[in-house]
Structures are given as C-alpha cells and as structure tokens.
Amino acid sequence: MLSAQSLFQEILDDDASFRLFCSIAASGEAQGGWENGRIAALVPASQRDLAPRIVRHGADEDKHGRIFNALLKKRGLSPVDVPAGTDYTMLLERQGIGLAHEQLKRDEPLSEQDVITYLAHSRVTEQRASEQMRLLLKHFADHPELGRAVKMISNDEDNHLAYCHEELLRFARAGHGRLIQRILRESAHAEIRVYRDVSLAVMADMGAILHWSRAKSALLAAGIHAVYAYERLIGWRRMVTLEPPARRDALGGAAPAEPEFA
C-alpha cells in the first residue's frame, strides 16, 4: 500500500534520494536563518523588543540546516544543488509573498507594516512546517537515524508557529487586524500553489532517482493535486486563523542548551 510512511521510507533507504531530500531541507532552513537574521537587524525602533525573538527564530532555522547536513555527513554524503523547481522560499518570493531578499540586503530599517508582513508570512509557512514535521514525528520518532532530529525540529516548528500567533494577535489588538487578515489570506493562497508546485517537482525528481513506474508517479501527482484542490476550497482557512497559543512566549529567553547533533 502506498502511504506517507512507506513513501518516505523508500526515500530514506536510498542514498541518492535521501541526499536530495536533506539538501532541499537544509537549503530552505539556511535561507530562513539568513532572512530572520536580516529582519532582526533591520527591525524599526518601535519594535526592538521583538528583535531577540526574531534572532532566536533565525538561530533555530540555522540549527535545522546544520542538522540536515549532519544527517548527510553520517552517511558519508555531501549536499547537492537544489533544483530551482523545489526552492520553496524563492518561489514564494517570486509570488510577492514575504519580504524580498533585495529589500533585506539593504541597510534600511523596516517599517511596522514590513514586520507584520514578515509575521503573517511566517504564520502561514510555519503552519506547513509544523504539520510536515508532525507527520514525520508520527512515523519516525523512534527511528535510529532520524528520530532525534525529527523530535527536535518538530518542537522548534511548533514554537515558531506559537510565536507568530502571539505576535500577530498583539498587532491585531493595536489596530492592525484588517491588514493582518489581508496579508494572511494572500500568503495562504500563494503558499498552497507553491507547495503544490514544489511537491510535484520533488516527486518528479524522486521518481527519476528511484525509478518509479508511470502509474505510481501518476498516482502521487493525483494525490498532490487532490490536496491542492482541498486547500484551495477550504483548507487554506487553517492558515489564516489566529488564536492564543498554548505555548506562551515560545521564543522568549535564551535558546535551550541542547545538543543538536543528528
């Protein structure tokens, strides 16, 4: 039977497909780390209290990138170049979602609206990251190679999502509710399109590596399109709601001193 667990196990068991998977993941996390670092450096004076949390967010993303590279190293593998069609972060930027890298490269302070844009974009993408890691946690928490990494990254992604909820609710109470909802809706609709396209590209690359049959590839593509149809119809709503998180001040204080080796 074709399931998420069996599919990922197949990718995990093959060095070439595992190498591509970890390379894509490490690249995306590294980009997230850089973006958060730049945003923290450019936060306007009115939001300087937020900077340490953004720094913590970026540090977590950098840590995740190192973890995926460590998983490669343990197998004696090195990262590969990420195919353009699988670059989730850059494809979102091309859709006009989030803060553009060109803006972040300039040493110009961000506006309060830029900070709201960053948080709303993060709220949507962290929803996806949290769900994906919980899926891996469900099936691979006890895996001797992946288990430790999956538990650590999943916990971090849940913290990031809680932080976005909390900060956006703070801005909503300050009178930015309509702006937040508009950006959340725009980000969610763009994200589900990009996620579909990236999923199709990743599955095509994995299929070529693992020599999947046409029938298997077609079945997986149909499943991806079905998820997109559901998310376009109603699933996007889970990405735009805001509620007080169970984890309060999830990124407050210093990062926990825990070993990050995979």
Assess contact for 159 and 250: CB atoms under 8 A: yes
Tell whether the model's pLDDT for residue 258 goes beyond 60.
Answer: no
Residue-level pLDDT at 2: 73
Residues 6+ apart with CB under 8 A from 83: 201, 205
Phi, psi of 245 (to 5 degrees): -75, 155
Could you give the C-alpha distances from 58 to 19, 30, 42, 246, in angstroms and in order?
A: 24, 9, 14, 22
Tell whether the model's pLDDT for residue 254 goes beyond 70.
Answer: no
The pLDDT tens digits for 7-38 are 999 999 999 999 999 999 999 999 999 999 99
Span 59-68, average pLDDT:
97
CA atoms within 13 A on the CB side of 231: 24
Task: Count the neighbouring beta carbons within 10 Å of the beta carbon of residue 76.
Answer: 7
Could you give the C-alpha distances from 207 to 14, 16, 26, 94, in angstroms and in order?
A: 12, 11, 21, 26
Tell whether the model's pLDDT for residue 74 goes beyond 70.
Answer: yes
3-class DSSP assignment, residue 261:
coil
Residues 6+ apart with CB under 8 A from 78: 19, 72
Residue-level pLDDT at 252: 83
Q: Which of 119-128, 135-144, 163-172, 176-185 has the lowest mean pLDDT?
A: 135-144
Residue-level pLDDT at 100: 93
Is CATH 3.40.605.10 correct for 4-239? no
Tell whether the model's pLDDT for residue 191 goes beyond 90.
Answer: yes
Tell me the pLDDT band of 3, cut-offs 50, 70 and 90: confident
How far is the C-alpha of 154 from the C-alpha of 33, rounded, in Å? Answer: 16
Structure tokens at 168: 């956006």
pTM > 0.85: yes or no: yes
Residue-level pLDDT at 69: 97
Span 210-230, average pLDDT:
97
